[in-house]
Amino acid sequence: MCLATAGRAQPITISGSVLDSATYQPLPYVAVQIKRKAVGVSTTERGVFVIAGQKGDTLIFTRLGYKPFLFVAQQPNDRLRVILAEDTRLLKDVTVYGDYDIKGIDDWKKNLPANTQVKVKKQTLEPQPNEVATFGPGITIGFGGKDKTKNKRDELGRTETYRKTIADPETKKYLVELFNLTEEQYNKKLERFNEDNPEAFYLTSREDIMTMLVQFFAMKE
For the whole model, what pTM was predicted? 0.44
The pLDDT assigned to 8 comes to 64
The pLDDT assigned to 221 comes to 60
Give the residue among 138, 211, 139 at the shortest CA–CA distance from 174: 211
Q: Does the domain at residues 7-91 carry the CATH identifier 2.60.40.1120? A: yes
Pair 75, 12: CB distance under 8 Å: yes
Q: In what order do the strands lie in the sheet with 117-120?
A: 117-120, 139-142, 131-133
The pLDDT assigned to 67 comes to 86
Mean residue pLDDT across the chain:
74
Residues 116-152 have pLDDT tens digits of: 554 444 444 344 554 444 445 544 445 444 454 545 5
Distance of alpha carbon 84 from alpha carbon 96, whole angstroms: 15
Residue with more model confidence, 171 or 143: 171
**Picking from 12-26, 111-125, 162-176, which range would have the lowest pLDDT averaged per residue?**
111-125
Distance of alpha carbon 57 from alpha carbon 94, whole angstroms: 30
Give the residue among 218, 199, 202 at the shortest CA–CA distance from 31: 218
Domain limits of the chain? 7-91, 109-217
Contacts of 181 (CB under 8 A, 6+ apart): 175, 189, 217
